[in-house]
Amino acid sequence: MKVVSIVGARPQLVKLGAVAQAFAGTDHEHVVVHTGQHYDPELSDVFFAEFGIPAPDYHLGIGSGGHGAQTGAMLAAIDPVLDGERPDWVLVYGDTNSTIAGALSAVKQHLPVAHLEAGLRSFNRRMPEEHNRVLTDHCADLLLAPTEEAVRHLAAEGLAARAVNVGDVMVDVCHRTRDAVLAAGLRPELGVDPDEPFLVATLHRAENTDDPELLAALLESMANLPVPVALLAHPRLRAKADQFGLKLAQGSLAAAKPLPYRELVAAVLASAGVLTDSGGLQKEAYLLGRPCTTLRTETEWVETLEDGWNVLAPRPDRLPVAEWHALAVRAAPSERRGEPYGNGHAGAAVVAALEAHLR
Ligand code: UD1
C-alpha cells in the first residue's frame, strides 16, 4: 500500500509524528508532502527532527497568503505530485488550508482520500478551520475520527458509513513525550521562573488576533493576572500585535518563541495551568492534567470541559477581575479524567483502517 501524507502547518506535524512512526514498522510506502504553509523553523523543521520524521519527499514552498491565494497555490502544486505518485490513499490531517487543498486535489484525480481528525465541529462558520473540516469530511472516502463525539457529528451529516473511530493520534505523541520529559527531568526555558507558579499561554486564531480591540483586551487580561504568564508567541500573533501597536510583554506577560514539542510538554507539566485558543494545547493540558482556560466562545474538544478541566472564557475582560483571576489560576479538579481520546495507539489504528478500507 502506498500512502501520501499531506501536511503543512505545525499541528499536522505533531500528528504526522504518530502516523510516520506507525508506518515505519510496516512494509507500506509512506510519502510525505509538505506544502510549506508553515516555514519558520520553530513551526516546522524542529518537529521533523524531534519526531524523527524523514525529510519530506516533496516540499512545495507555498508559504503565506490570503486563503484563496494560499489554498489555490497549494492545489496547483499538489496536483502534479499526486498525478505522479498515484497512491492507494491520500491522507490529510486536521483543518488547515493544507488539508482542504490536499483533499480537493486528490478527489479531482479520483484518488481515495482519508481525513485524519474527521468529525470535529465548532459549529462556528466564522472560523476558517470550520470551513476546512466540513468540506474535507464531505469529500473524503474514509473519515478517521478521534472520538465518539466526532463520529456522532459525522453521522448527523449523513457520513456514518465512512467513519471509523481510531482514537486521537495526539495522545500517542503526548504520552510518549511526557514519559521522555519526566525521565529526562527537562526544565522549560520560558523567561519565567519555573520554580514559582506560572501559566503557559498561546494565542493565534484569526478570530482573536485579527480584531485589534479584542486582541488588546485579551493581552490586557493576561497581563493583569497575579502570576507570571509565559506567552509562546505564534508569528501571526507577533505580526498582528506589531501592526496594531500592542505590546506582548506587559504586566505579568512574558513573550517567548513557540517551543519544540518536548519543551512545550515540559512547560505544561511545570505550569499551574494553560490559557489558550489552540485546539491541540487544550487537549494536551487535559492529557497532562493541568487546568486549561480557553479564550474562545466554543471548543471542538468538548470532552475536556468535563469536571471543569477546561473552561471557556471568550471575553475575560468582561468578567469581574476577581472572577477572572480565580478562573485562570484555579487548581486542577480532583475528579479523575477518562480516556475519551483513546489509549495512545491511534497511529497503529490509522494504518489498520487504511489497510482494511483499501479499494
Ligand atoms: C494555521 C491554521 C490553523 C492552525 C495553525 C497552527 C489555516 C487556515 N489555519 O494558522 O488552523 O491552528 O496554523 O499554527 O490553515 N507565518 C509566519 N511563519 C510561518 C507561518 C506563518 O510568519 O512559518 C505568518 C504568516 O505571515 C501569516 C500568519 O503567520 O500572516 C498566518 O499563517 P497561516 O498559515 O495563514 O495560518 P496560521 O495562523 O498559522
Query: Which residue's CA lies nearest to atom 11 of ligand 1?
Result: 96
Query: Which residue's CA lies nearest to atom 22 of ligand 1?
Result: 235
**Same CATH topology for 2-168+342-356 and 176-328?**
yes
Catalytic residue among 204, 325, 345, 357: 204
Of the chain, the percentage scoring pLDDT greater than 90 comes to 99
Q: CATH second-level architecture of 2-168+342-356? A: 3-Layer(aba) Sandwich (3.40)
**Ligand 1: which atom is nearest the Cα of residue 99?**
15
pLDDT bin (cut points 50, 70, 90) of residue 41 is: very high
Yes or no: domain 176-328 corresponds to CATH 3.40.50.2000: yes
Mean pLDDT of 279-292: 98
**Cα 293 to Cα 201: distance, rounded to the nearest angstrom:** 9
Q: What is the pLDDT of residue 250?
A: 97
pLDDT at residue 25 tops 90: no
pLDDT digits (tens, 9 = 90+) for 207-264: 999 999 999 999 999 999 999 999 999 999 999 999 999 999 999 999 999 999 999 9
Q: How far is the CA of 171 from the centre of ligand 1 (A)?
A: 23
Q: Is 204 a catalytic residue?
A: yes
Q: How far is the CA of 236 from the centre of ligand 1 (A)?
A: 6
Mean pLDDT of 279-302: 98
Mean pLDDT of 336-346: 95
138 lines ligand 1 (CB under 6 A): no
| Domains of the chain by residue range | 2-168+342-356, 176-328
Q: What is the pLDDT of residue 158?
A: 98
Mean pLDDT of 113-136: 97
Q: How far is the CA of 53 from the centre of ligand 1 (A)?
A: 21
Q: What is the mean pLDDT of the chain?
A: 97
3-class SS string, the chain: CEEEEEECCHHHHHHHHHHHHHHHCCCCEEEEEECCCCCCHHHCHHHHHHHCCCCCCEECCCCCCCHHHHHHHHHHHHHHHHHHHCCCEEEEECCCHHHHHHHHHHHHCCCCEEEECCCCCCCCCCCHHHHHHHHHHHHCCEEEECCHHHHHHHHHCCCHHHEEECCCHHHHHHHHHHHHHHHHCCCCCCCCCCCCCCEEECCCCHHHHCCHHHHHHHHHHHHCCCCCEEEECCHHHHHHHHHHCCCCCCCCEEEECCCCHHHHHHHHHHCCEEEECCHHHHHHHHHHCCCEEECCCCCCCHHHHHHHCEEECCCHHHCCHHHHHHHHCCCCCCCCCCCCCCCCCHHHHHHHHHHHCCC
pLDDT digits (tens, 9 = 90+) for 156-193: 999 999 999 999 999 999 999 999 999 999 999 898 99
